[in-house]
C-alpha cells in the first residue's frame, strides 16, 4: 500500500481550541462551513447530504452553512440551539471549534464555548460595522480570559472589498477593546466567508491586505504560554489505593496539573492541612516521569503520610494560593430562574464541593455600555454581575486572570441540580 | 514546538483520563459500556492509565444483540480477563423472550434499536448511576451536541434542548434518585485520533478490523456480512470478498469495506485517503436524517 500520510507528523501536531462569536446573520455558519470545506475536512457523504438539502430548499449553490446543521429542530427552524463541537486538522494543527449560536441564550452559550478556548473569532458584518452585539462578544472574550482574539470583518464582497471599510471597523473595535483589554493579543482579517477570500486562500480581491489568512493565523498563533506555568497547582481528583500485594501501601494522588511544573523532590504544601511534604514520584502506566506540567493527567506520590483527598490541592512551598471563605466573583447567570440574593447554592471549585450563600450583589454590568448598575439586584439569565459569596469551607484560589482553573467556579441549584452560574474569581 | 506544549493526542489522552477519574470520584456505581469496537477498547486502555497501579474501579457492560461477530465476543472475554475487570452481559434475546422488546420484521430488520431496552433495563437492575461510552462528537451531528457528562432522566431520555452548561472542566454529576449520566471521555477525538492512538499505544483489536475473506452481499451501496438471520432479497447474492470492518456493531448494521489493510498503519493510510465518513457505512444511520437523534433521545448509546 502506498504510504502518503505521515503518522509521525500527525502525532506531532498541537491542539488549538477556538470559539466563534457573531450575531445571527454575520455568516458564522458559512465561515465554519468554509473552513471545513476548503481544508478538505468534508467527506463525500456529508457533501452529498448538504447538496441534496441545498437543492431541496431551492438554493442554486451548496449552502456552506448546512455543514454545521445539527438537530432536527434546528434544521426546521433554521437556527442553532446549543454549543456544537466541530473538528478539523491541517498538516500543522488540529482544531476544535466550539460553535455557539448567535441568538437566544447567547451569553450562556458563548461563555460555555469560551471557557476552554485558546482563541475566539469575533465576526463583524462589514455592512453594519461594530454594533452592540460586537461589544458583548468582545467583553465576554475578555471576561473569560481567552488569550487570542481574531476579529474577522466578513462580507467584504458586499462592500466592494474596500480597504477603508476594513480600517474604519478595525479602529472602532480597537477603541472599544482598549477600554476592556488593553494588553490583549488581537488580529484583524478582512474576509468573505461566502466567496472564500482570506479564509483558507489569500484574497485576490484585497491586495491591500497582506497579514495572512484566517487559517494561517489559526495555524501559527503561539499557544504554549496559554497555561499558567508559574504557580504550582495540583488539585486532587481521586486517591489511588490499589490495596494489592504488589502495591500494598501505595497511596497516589490523581489529578490534572492546573499550573506550574512538578518534579520528584519538589517541596510542596498540602492543602487544606498546610502540611509540608516532598514529591516522591510522578506515576503513569507507561512509567514514572521526571516532570509534569499543565494540562497533564498524572498521579503524584508524597514522602509523608498526609491527610489529603479529593478537593485538596498540592501547591509549591512558598507559593500558596489565596485562602478565604469570602469570595468576590464576576458571574454569568445561566438559568431561567433568577439568582436569589441571600440564597444558598452548591459551589464547585476545581475538585472541591462546598456550599455558599450569596451575600451581596455589587452591580450588574451592562456589557454593551460597560455601565455598572449598582441598584440592580435582580440577576437573570445571561446577566453578568459582580457578587460576594460566603462559603462553608475556605477555598484555595488564584485570581481568574492568573489561572483559569484555580480561578473559576460554578454554582449549582441544590433543588434542581442544574448548573446555574459560571464564576470568575477576582 | 516547546517541550512543555503537549501534542494534541497527549492532550486528548489527558482530558479523557481526567474525565474517567471524575466519574470514579463523583459516582457510586459507574459502568463502562463495552461494545467490542475500537472506541470502547481505547476506553478500557485509558481506564487502565487513569487508575494505575490500581485496577479499573468499575465493571464492563456489553449489550449483546445475539447477532455479534464471534470474533468480537472472543476478544471481549479475553480483554476483560487480561485487565481483571468484571464483565456483565445484557442480552437483547432475553429482552425479546421476556416480551420487553419486539423483534423487527422484514428485510432491514435489526436489533440495533432494541439494544436501548436491554441497556436501560441493565442500568436500572444494577442501579448504575453513570454509564461511560465511547461516542465521539465527530461521528454524527446529534453527537456533536453532547456534553462530556450527559444527564438522563429516570426514563433514560436525553433532552438536547435542555442540557447543563459545561464550563471549563467542571463536570456537574449531581442527580436525583433513578436518574443517571452518560459520560463520553473521548468526545473530542476524531476517527483518525483513535487510530493514531491505537498505533502509538500498540493496542490490540479484534481481527475483524483487519482484512479477511467473508461471505458478503451488497445492499444500497453497503457491503453486509451474510449470516443465517440476515434476510436477503431475491436480487441479492452472496459473494466471497476481502473485507474489513471500519466500525464494529451488530452484524445486521455493520457495513464492511472492501480492503486489503492488515496492519494499523495500512488502516491509517486507508482512512487518510477515504472520502466517506465512518458512519456512512452504518446501516442503522441510513434510516432517516435524524436516526441518531431519535435513538439518542430514547436512551441509546
Question: What CATH number does the domain containing A263 carry?
Answer: 2.40.30.10
Residues A330, A193 share a domain: no
Which domain covers residue A22, as residue numbers? 11-220
Note whether B8 contacts A283, CB cutoff 8 Å: no
Residues A328, A311 share a domain: no
Residues A394, A248 share a domain: no
Give the model's confidence band at B226: pLDDT under 50 very low, under 70 low, under 90 confident, else very high: confident
Q: Which residue has the higher pLDDT, B95 or A354?
A: A354
> Can you tell me the mean pLDDT for B259-282?
79
How much of chain A, in percent, has pLDDT values that exceed 90? 64
Most B-contacting residue of A2, A3, A7, A411 (CB-CB within 10 A), to test interface? A7
Note whether B1 contacts A422, CB cutoff 8 Å: no
**A-to-B residue pairs, Cβ atoms closer than 8 angstroms:** 205
Residues A349, A298 share a domain: no
Residues B242, B147 share a domain: no
Which domain-ending residue is among A281, A316, A351? A316
Q: State chain B's mean pLDDT as an integer.
A: 87
| B212 in any annotated domain | yes
**Residue A317: its pLDDT value, please?**
95
Most A-contacting residue of B137, B161, B167 (CB-CB within 10 A), to test interface? B167
Residues A362, A258 share a domain: no
Task: Please write the tens of the pLDDT for every residue from A231-245.
Answer: 999 999 999 999 888
Report how many domains make up chain A.
3
Residues A213, A90 share a domain: yes
Residues B158, B40 share a domain: yes
Residues A182, A91 share a domain: yes
Residues A20, A85: contact at Cβ < 8 Å? no
CA distances in angstroms from A402 to A327, B175, B197, listed in the order given: 16, 32, 33
**Residue B51: its pLDDT value, please?**
97
Report chain A residues whose CB lies below 8 A from the CB of B22.
237
| B2 in any annotated domain | no
Note whether A84 contacts B145, CB cutoff 8 Å: yes
Residues B211, B154 share a domain: no
Report chain B residues whose CB lies below 8 A from the CB of A233.
none
- Nearest residue of chain A to residue B260 (CA atoms): A1
Q: Which of B18, B168, B196 sits opposite A115 (nearest CB)?
A: B168
- Nearest residue of chain B to residue A47 (CA atoms): B276
Residues B156, B87 share a domain: yes
**Residue B290: its pLDDT value, please?**
63
Give the model's confidence band at A1: pLDDT under 50 very low, under 70 low, under 90 confident, else very high: very low
Residues A208, A191 share a domain: yes
Whether B269 has its CB under 8 Å from any CB of chain A: the answer is yes
Q: Which of A43, A241, A256 sits opposite B18 (nearest CB)?
A: A256
| B62 in any annotated domain | yes
Residues B232, B145 share a domain: no
Which domain-ending residue is among A198, A220, A242? A220
Report how many domains make up chain B.
2
**Residue B1: its pLDDT value, please?**
41
> Cα–Cα–Cα angle for A137, A138, A143, nearest 5°?
95
Burial group, residue A289, by CB count within 10 angstroms (0-12, 13-18, 19+)? middle
Which domain-ending residue is among A180, A199, A220? A220
CATH code where residue B134 lies: 3.40.50.620
Give the HSE-up count for residue A12: Cα atoms under 13 Å, Cβ half-sphere: 9
SS3 A349: strand
Residues A203, A72 share a domain: yes
| B198 in any annotated domain | no
Whether B262 has its CB under 8 Å from any CB of chain A: the answer is no
Most A-contacting residue of B144, B192, B296 (CB-CB within 10 A), to test interface? B144
| B240 in any annotated domain | yes
Q: What is the DSSP string of chain B?
A: --TTSPPHHHHHHHHHHHHHHHHHHH-SSEEEE--SSHHHHHHHHHHHHHHTTSPPSS-EEEEE-S---HHHHHHHHHHHHHTT--EEEEEHHHHHHTTSS----STT--STTTHHHHHHHHHHHTT-SEEE----TTS-TTGGG--SEEEE-TT----GGGPPP-BTTB------TT-EEEE-TTTT--HHHHHHHHHHHT----GGGS-EEEEEEEETTEEEE--TT----TT---EEEEEEESS---TTTB-EEE----SHHHHHHHHHH--S-GGGGBGGGGS-TTHHHHHHHHT--
Give the model's confidence band at A401: pLDDT under 50 very low, under 70 low, under 90 confident, else very high: very high
Whether A112 has its CB under 8 Å from any CB of chain B: the answer is yes
Whether B172 has its CB under 8 Å from any CB of chain A: the answer is yes
Residues B126, B67 share a domain: yes
> Can you tell me the mean pLDDT for A42-58?
74
> Can you tell me the mean pLDDT for A123-147?
90
| A245 in any annotated domain | yes
| B294 in any annotated domain | yes
Residues A127, A92 share a domain: yes
> Can you tell me the mean pLDDT for B80-96?
90
Could you tell me which of A100, A155, A150, A96 has the C-alpha nearest to residue A125?
A155
SS3 A423: strand
Burial group, residue A251, by CB count within 10 angstroms (0-12, 13-18, 19+)? middle
Residues A326, A311 share a domain: no
Please tell me the least confidently modeled range out of A107-111, A285-289, A359-363, B210-214: A107-111
B-facing residues of A in 151-180 (CB < 8 A) are none
Residues B79, B33 share a domain: yes
Residues B166, B116 share a domain: yes
Q: Which of A10, A44, A86 sits opposite B275 (nearest CB)?
A: A44
| A4 in any annotated domain | no
Task: Please write the tens of the pLDDT for every residue from A174-219.
Answer: 998 988 887 889 999 999 999 999 999 999 999 999 999 999 999 9
Q: Say if residue A295 is preceded by a cis peptide, omega within 30 of 0.
A: yes
Report chain A residues whose CB lies below 8 A from the CB of B188.
85, 87, 96
| A5 in any annotated domain | no
Give the model's confidence band at A77: pLDDT under 50 very low, under 70 low, under 90 confident, else very high: low
| A306 in any annotated domain | yes
| B42 in any annotated domain | yes
Residues B246, B115 share a domain: no
> Can you tell me the mean pLDDT for B18-45?
96
Give the model's confidence band at A341: pLDDT under 50 very low, under 70 low, under 90 confident, else very high: very high
Which domain covers residue B245, as residue numbers? 205-285
Amino acid at each position: 500500500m502506498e504510504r502518503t500520510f505521515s503518522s509521525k507528523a500527525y502525532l506531532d501536531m498541537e491542539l488549538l481550541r477556538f470559539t466563534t462569536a457573531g450575531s445571527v446573520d454575520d455568516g458564522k455558519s458559512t465561515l465554519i462551513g468554509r473552513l471545513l470545506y476548503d481544508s478538505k475536512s468534508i467527506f463525500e457523504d456529508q457533501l452529498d447530504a448538504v447538496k441534496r438539502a441545498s437543492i431541496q430548499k431551492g438554493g442554486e449553490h451548496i449552502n456552506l452553512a448546512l455543514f454545521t446543521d445539527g438537530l432536527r429542530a434546528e434544521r426546521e427552524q433554521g437556527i442553532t440551539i446549543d454549543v456544537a463541537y466541530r473538528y478539523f486538522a491541517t498538516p500543522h494543527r488540529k482544531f476544535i471549534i466550539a460553535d455557539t449560536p448567535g441568538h437566544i441564550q447567547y451569553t450562556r452559550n458563548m461563555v460555555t464555548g469560551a471557557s476552554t478556548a485558546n482563541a475566539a473569532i469575533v465576526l463583524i458584518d462589514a455592512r453594519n460595522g461594530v454594533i452592540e452585539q460586537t461589544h458583548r462578544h468582545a467583553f465576554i472574550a475578555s471576561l473569560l480570559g481567552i488569550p487570542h482574539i481574531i476579529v474577522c470583518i466578513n462580507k467584504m464582497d458586499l462592500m466592494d472589498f474596500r480597504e477603508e471599510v476594513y480600517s474604519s471597523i478595525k479602529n472602532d473595535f480597537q477603541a472599544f477593546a482598549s477600554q476592556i483589554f488593553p494588553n490583549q493579543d488581537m488580529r484583524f482579517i478582512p474576509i468573505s466567508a461566502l466567496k472564500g477570500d482570506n479564509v483558507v486562500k489569500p484574497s485576490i480581491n484585497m491586495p491591500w491586505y497582506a497579514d495572512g489568512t484566517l487559517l494561517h493565523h489559526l495555524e501559527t498563533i503561539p499557544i504554549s504560554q496559554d497555561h499558567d506555568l508559574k504557580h504550582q497547582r495540583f488539585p486532587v481528583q481521586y486517591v489511588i489505593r490499589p490495596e494489592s500485594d504488589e502495591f500494598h501501601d501505595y497511596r497516589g494522588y490523581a489529578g490534572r496539573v492546573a499550573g506550574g511544573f512538578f518534579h520528584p523532590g519538589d517541596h510542596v504544601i498540602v492543602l487544606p492541612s498546610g502540611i509540608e511534604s516532598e514529591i516522591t514520584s510522578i506515576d503513569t502506566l507507561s512509567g514514572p516521569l521526571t516532570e509534569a506540567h499543565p494540562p497533564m493527567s498524572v498521579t503524584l506520590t508524597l514522602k509523608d503520610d498526609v491527610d489529603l483527598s479529593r478537593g485538596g490541592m498540592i501547591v509549591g512551598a512558598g507559593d500558596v494560593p489565596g485562602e478565604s471563605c469570602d469570595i468576590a466573583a464576576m458571574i454569568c447567570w445561566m438559568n431561567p430562574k433568577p439568582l436569589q440574593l441571600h440564597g444558598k447554592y452548591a459551589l464547585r471549585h476545581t475538585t472541591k464541593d462546598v456550599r455558599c450563600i450569596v451575600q451581596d450583589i455589587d452591580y450588574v454590568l451592562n456589557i454593551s455600555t460597560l455601565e455598572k448598575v449598582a441598584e440592580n439586584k435582580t440577576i437573570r439569565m445571561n446577566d453578568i454581575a459582580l457578587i460576594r459569596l460566603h462559603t462553608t469551607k475556605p477555598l484555595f484560589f488564584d485570581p481568574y486572570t492568573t489561572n483559569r482553573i484555580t480561578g473559576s467556579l460554578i454554582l449549582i441549584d441544590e433543588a434542581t441540580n442544574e448548573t446555574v452560574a459560571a464564576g470568575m474569581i477576582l | 514546538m516547546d517541550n512543555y506544549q503537549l501534542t494534541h493526542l497527549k492532550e486528548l489522552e489527558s482530558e479523557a483520563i481526567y474525565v474517567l477519574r471524575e466519574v470514579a470520584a463523583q459516582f457510586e456505581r459507574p459502568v463502562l459500556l463495552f461494545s467490542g469496537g475500537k472506541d470502547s477498547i481505547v476506553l478500557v486502555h485509558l481506564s487502565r492509565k487513569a487508575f494505575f497501579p490500581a485496577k479499573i474501579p468499575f465493571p464492563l457492560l456489553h449489550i449483546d444483540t445475539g447477532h455479534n461477530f464471534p470474533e468480537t465476543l472472543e476478544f471481549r472475554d479475553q480483554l476483560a480477563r487480561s485487565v481483571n475487570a468484571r464483565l456483565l452481559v445484557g442480552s437483547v434475546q432475553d429482552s425479546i423472550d421476556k416480551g420487553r422488546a419486539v423483534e423487527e420484521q422484514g428485510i432491514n430488520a435489526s436489533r440495533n434499536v432494541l439494544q436501548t431496552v436491554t441497556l436501560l433495563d441493565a442500568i436500572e437492575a444494577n442501579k448504575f448511576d453513570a454509564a461511560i461510552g465511547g461516542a465521539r462528537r465527530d461521528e454524527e451531528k446529534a453527537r456533536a451536541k453532547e456534553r462530556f457528562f450527559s444527564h438522563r432522566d429516570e426514563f433514560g431520555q436525553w433532552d438536547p434542548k435542555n442540557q447543563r452548561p459545561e464550563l471549563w472542566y467542571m463536570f456537574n454529576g449531581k442527580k436525583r434518585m433513578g436518574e443517571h449520566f452518560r459520560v463520553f471521555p473521548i468526545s473530542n477525538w476524531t476517527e483518525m485520533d483513535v487510530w493514531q492512538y491505537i498505533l502509538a499505544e500498540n493496542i490490540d483489536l479484534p481481527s475483524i478490523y483487519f482484512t479477511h475473506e467473508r461471505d458478503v452481499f451488497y445492499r444500497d451501496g453497503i457491503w453486509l456480512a451474510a449470516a443465517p438471520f440476515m434476510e436477503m432479497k431475491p436480487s441479492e447474492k452472496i459473494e466471497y470478498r476481502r473485507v474489513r470492518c471500519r466500525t464494529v456493531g451488530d452484524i445486521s448494521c455493520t457495513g464492511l469495506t472492501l480492503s486489503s489493510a492488515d496492519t494499523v498503519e495500512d488502516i491509517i493510510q486507508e482512512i487518510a485517503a477515504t472520502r466517506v465518513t465512518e458512519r456512512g457505512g452504518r446501516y442503522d444511520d441510513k434510516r432517516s436524517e435524524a436516526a441518531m437523534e431519535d435513538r439518542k433521545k430514547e436512551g441509546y448509546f
